[in-house]
Structure 1
Amino acid sequence: MARHKLKQSGAVLLAAAMAAAAAGCGGSSGDKPAADNGQEAAPKLTNLTYWVQAVSQVTATMKSYNEIEAYKELERVTGVKVDFQHPPQGQQATEQFNLMMTSDKLPDVIEYSWTGYPGGPEKAIKDGKIVKLNDLIDKYAPNFKKVLADHPDWKKEMMTDEGSIYGLPFIRSHEQLKVFLGPTIRKDWLDKLGLQLPTTIDEWYAVLKAFKERDPNGNGKPDEIPLYLAKGDVDTSTAFLGAFGINAGFYQEGGKVKYGPTDPKFKEFLTLMNKWYKEGLLDKDFATTDAKMLEAKITGGQIGSAVLYTGSGIGKYATLMKDKDKNFRLVAAPYPVLNKGDKQIWGYKDFSVAPTSAAISTSNKNPIETIKWLDYGYSEQGTLLFNFGKEGVSYTMQNGKPTFKPEVMNDPTGLPLIQSMSKHNRATFSGPFMLDIRFDEQYTNSPDQLESKKIWAAPTLEKKMPRTTPTKEESSRYASIMADINTYKDEMYLKFIMGAEPLDNFDKYVKTIQGMGLDEALKIQQSALERYAKR
């Protein structure tokens, strides 16, 4: 197991130190809690504001992360009270973040994908928005410091080219934890129609045609949606596009950076998607369908295939449909290739270090106490807390292994496992801690979920770019170029597939992107790739 173990005694000492620090901290504080068993009252609470986008599995049952059992326990252990600030989900969160960053008064902790800050995380430091954490980690975060020392490859992923550490991230501590997204398909529909699991583009076409024409949901209506494939699915997982050997952004071949959306093979992909769209094989509303609408279509027996997660896809829908349709079975399908025997190059395998990390803002008046509080998540006790919740409430130790209680694994009210667990921990999504393989062994425990990880792990991802960052000098120019390119590219992507723009205009589209400064962006990425290699 590649998981990093930390001493429990260190965590206990840390909690005691933090409680003492909280007592003398200059931040705002609440009332003293009542004393227990005649002992001296606990110290005043340090108050922190924490900005983070709430995920759907939490908002399904709770209003705030403050209601998660792990954070209730963390407050009790550390004496730090946190006021979570949750922006709206989706694009509105990005808009609120951008607006927030123009202010001189920021939340104390901001959990965000800092590679998305205009110019990257180093620019956020130079702009005076967030704190460079290297010295604070060295002096006050012994657990996280040890993680960095033991895993230089992880450290390389989470630092800028200048060597700055800008946030404490979500870390996938085992190879198996990096694979959790890919194409899924209704196996019961395949079985009903006598079809095999598709592996090539042509096989997928034949299956989707059969889903469209042969009434696999058995209601006598032509209401099947053979494939739901949103633009984000293509961008993130390269589903179907990867069969053409490229991705939807920058990639590298032999150390040279290239850009997929202007490659002639991207036109081949668009041509295929346009054909499938015209034939009704793609969801006609793929450009506007949100998560709730997608769920309604899947549970309504309409969608035959989609790009989904292991837990919140295969696992969630198995739970939601077990009483509604006893035949329902959603399984992983291989990332398709063009020809039988072709090597699977593109798929989805995440980095060990997630792009989202908890940064300390320059408005924070208590950075030392804050880094100690964040560091707790990387201790042995913190790892247990964020992965499993509070001992005795959501899990017990059995033969030395944290084991979720039956009422969590099978919620008595019928909640999907992802929602049941999310009432107690943060391991079903992200946060400043290390994901534990022992959690995943219980979270994705059905045969179909376990098989999905094997199927989706096949692509080599040999062309994938590491998580590079531009320099301060490059950042604003790169951000400006790519903002224009991405807006235009996304608009044309929809037009080409939906037929609003003839594919004969692809060369014109390429020239337009080149005229927006693509060559300059490629040079910046090339320099960034070379700098990354020297980190």
Structure 2
Amino acid sequence: MKGSVSLLAVAAVLAGCAGNGGPQTDKPAQQDGSKPLIVTIATPQVGEAPKKDSEVELAIEKYTNSKIDMQWIPGAAFEDKKNIMIASSDMPKAFKITSNATTLAAIQSGLFWEIGPLLQNYKNLSALDDYYYDNIKVDGKLYGLPLYRDTGRAGLVYRKDWFDELGLKLPVTLDDWYAMMKTMAEKDPNKNGEQDTYGLFLDKSFNDPAGSNTFLTRLAVSQGAPNKWGEENGKLIPEFMTTPYLNAMKLLRELYREKLINQDFSVVQAADADNKWNAGQAAIRVNTVASAAATSHENLKKTVPDSIVDVEPYIGPFGNRVPAEPGNNGFFVFPKSSVASEEELEQLLGFFDKLLDPEMSTLLTRGFEGKHYTKTADGKAELKDLSLFNLEVKPYRDSLPSFEVTGQGLPLKLSPLQEKGWEVVAGNLPNVVPNLALTLSSATYLEKGGELDTLIRDAQTKFIMGKMDEAGWLAEVDNWKKAGGDKVIEEYTAAYAKQKQ
């Protein structure tokens, strides 16, 4: 594998410095032997689940000489379903999961194949930077194939027409955030005579402990907080034990008290929050990334054709400061209960390696020439119908390890908003704040992490909803520490000190 990567090259790749050629899906890939490889895949659903034997799925099967069974599980139910599948050992051959306490415990218990020593045998998988793999290793060993992602994707996708009309600038300080939220809720920016607009519409993942792209972490980091875990006086401490994070929580508490954010945020699904944006009822779309600004605008234009959307970086009192994401949107593991032998494991890795071929990268990131994109005179792909692409291609693009950072597919001709979104991503990279505990191990967290995360999330929600005061919040932090949090801090601190040696 390459030793280092300049992720600043991503924007250049997208602007046209990648490979060329469309998806030559008439060129079948041969696995060992002539029989198609059976590939069962479980993954969270992205948008509307594609139908079985969709055009994209059939093209993948033909190219890779495989038979695919995609199990699309609704995102809201995925964690519960994942835990049931792990407990029963009733798992697919390729299982897309994310890093959290139950995942780490399952990996350490020996349920999944180690794949690190095998990657050198695959040209595409081994060519990708070590960074993507290092961030998902457990005890120094690699068990998964990441869905490769950029690390500085945070951005403010917003209704520029509303901000301009109301004479507002994007918020920098927490006071700015409050003023913006109050104005958007009370000044009727959609001019329908009703109080049905929000500065932002929160969903229940706003404080997900496993997600550095969650709104509360993004907001707190912009105000000086660490990204999940930071260092203070020689110790690693969680973000929620810092003053900037508490101040961000206090802002949400005040916004809730004044009904300037949706009162049902603790139960709202991400899809419902998306629908509020799509319906033209939110000024900022917080559960998205900068590079998706154009897609956000396309979705909004169906309801508000004359809307104007823009994207800018998060800017706080300390300038551009965003949480570093782990370089993946989850990763595929291979259960020993369903992958019977190392030979079958090697065939599955061969399947995923082929997905990174230029033909497959083009298919998964552009779709079919003539239907989803046209080829420009300078050899780039220009999307014809973004809505059709989002319906037919995007679920596979977002769920399989083939993405822009690989730079293998046909380069995309960017619209001005797309180009600006990727410029924000590239500009964020020098200013990302790492999660210092991302690759560290804590035996206590593996044992009690789910319980500890639930304790603190529930306390945050109750604090924001006014069901406990600041003294009650601090008491819950003490309870977290006594329930095992102090031990987690101790173990992460020791592991971090060892890592730095």
The structure 1 residue matched to 2:350, chosen from 372, 395, 398, is 372
Aligned residue in 1 for 2:4: none
Cα distance, 1:320–1:135 mapped onto 2, change above 3 Å = closer
The structure 2 residue matched to 1:448, chosen from 417, 420, 428, is 417
Cα distance, 1:22–1:321 mapped onto 2, change above 3 Å = same
What's the RMSD between the two structures over aligned residues? Answer: 3.5
State the secondary structure of the residue aligned to 2:339. Answer: coil
Say yes or no: does 1:225 pair with 2:198.
yes
The structure 1 residue matched to 2:170, chosen from 197, 202, 207, is 197
Cα distance, 1:409–1:304 mapped onto 2, change above 3 Å = same
Say yes or no: does 1:499 pair with 2:466.
yes
Cα distance, 1:303–1:74 mapped onto 2, change above 3 Å = closer
Aligned residue in 1 for 2:72: 86
Q: Distance in 1 between matches of 2:180 and 2:20?
A: 53
State the secondary structure of the residue aligned to 1:226. Answer: strand
Structure with larger RCO (C-alpha < 8 A, sep 6+): 2
Contact 1:468 1:525 in 2 (8 A): no
Q: Distance in 1 between matches of 2:308 and 2:488?
A: 44
Q: Distance in 1 between matches of 2:438 and 2:18?
A: 26
The structure 2 residue matched to 1:343, chosen from 301, 316, 319, is 319
Contact 1:46 1:80 in 2 (8 A): yes
Q: Distance in 1 between matches of 2:431 and 2:334?
A: 32
Query: Residue type of the partner of 1:109?
Result: A
Aligned residue in 2 for 1:410: 385
Say yes or no: does 1:209 pair with 2:190.
no
The structure 2 residue matched to 1:419, chosen from 391, 395, 400, is 391
Cα distance, 1:524–1:215 mapped onto 2, change above 3 Å = same
State the secondary structure of the residue aligned to 2:87. Answer: coil
Q: Distance in 1 between matches of 2:304 and 2:89?
A: 54
Aligned residue in 1 for 2:3: none
Contact 2:41 2:70 in 1 (8 A): yes
Contact 1:182 1:308 in 2 (8 A): no
Aligned-residue offset at 1:501: 1.1
Say yes or no: does 1:67 pair with 2:54.
yes
Query: Residue type of the partner of 2:471?
Result: D
Q: Distance in 2 between matches of 1:393 and 1:263?
A: 51
- Pairing 1:236-315 to 2, within 5 Å after superposition: 236-237=213-214, 238-247=217-226, 249-252=228-231, 256-310=235-289, 314-315=293-294
Q: Distance in 2 between matches of 1:7 and 1:437?
A: 10
Q: Distance in 1 between matches of 2:357 and 2:185?
A: 52
State the secondary structure of the residue aligned to 1:239. Answer: helix
Contact 1:118 1:479 in 2 (8 A): yes
Q: Distance in 2 between matches of 1:499 and 1:105?
A: 42
Runs of 4+ in structure 1 deviating by more than 6 angstroms, as ranges, are 2-8, 438-441
Higher Cα Rg, which structure? 1
Aligned residue in 1 for 2:366: 388
Query: Residue type of the partner of 1:133?
Result: I
Query: Residue type of the partner of 1:364?
Result: V
Q: Distance in 2 between matches of 1:300 and 1:5?
A: 36
Aligned residue in 1 for 2:338: 363
Instruction: State the Cα deviation string for residues 7-41 of structure 1 (Å, max 9, x = none).
Output: 99xx99x96551xx243xxxxxxxxxxxxxxxxxx
Query: Residue type of the partner of 2:351?
Result: W
Contact 1:316 1:417 in 2 (8 A): no
Cα distance, 1:363–1:53 mapped onto 2, change above 3 Å = same
Aligned residue in 2 for 1:116: 100
Q: Distance in 2 between matches of 1:374 and 1:191?
A: 46
Query: Residue type of the partner of 1:251?
Result: G
The structure 2 residue matched to 1:95, chosen from 80, 89, 97, is 80
Instruction: State the Cα deviation string for residues 329-357 of structure 1 (Å, max 9, x = none).
Output: 233344252x4xx3333x24433344423
Cα distance, 1:417–1:234 mapped onto 2, change above 3 Å = farther
Aligned-residue offset at 1:438: 7.9
Aligned-residue offset at 1:521: 0.6
Query: Residue type of the partner of 2:97?
Result: Y
Normalised by the size of structure 2, how large is the TM-score? Answer: 0.81
Contact 1:183 1:239 in 2 (8 A): no
Aligned residue in 2 for 1:181: 154
Contact 1:240 1:336 in 2 (8 A): no
Q: Distance in 1 between matches of 2:392 and 2:117?
A: 39
Aligned-residue offset at 1:499: 0.8
Query: Residue type of the partner of 2:43?
Result: V
Instruction: State the Cα deviation string for residues 471-511 of structure 1 (Å, max 9, x = none).
Output: xxx44x32333222211111111111111112232331221
Aligned-residue offset at 1:465: 2.4
Say yes or no: does 1:144 pair with 2:122.
no
The structure 2 residue matched to 1:170, chosen from 140, 147, 160, is 147
Q: Distance in 1 between matches of 2:242 and 2:133?
A: 33
Larger displacement relative to structure 2 (388-397 or 81-90) = 388-397
State the secondary structure of the residue aligned to 2:334. Answer: strand
Normalised by the size of structure 1, how large is the TM-score? Answer: 0.77
Q: What is the count of residue pairs matched by the alignment?
A: 473
Contact 2:203 2:269 in 1 (8 A): no
Query: Residue type of the partner of 1:388?
Result: R
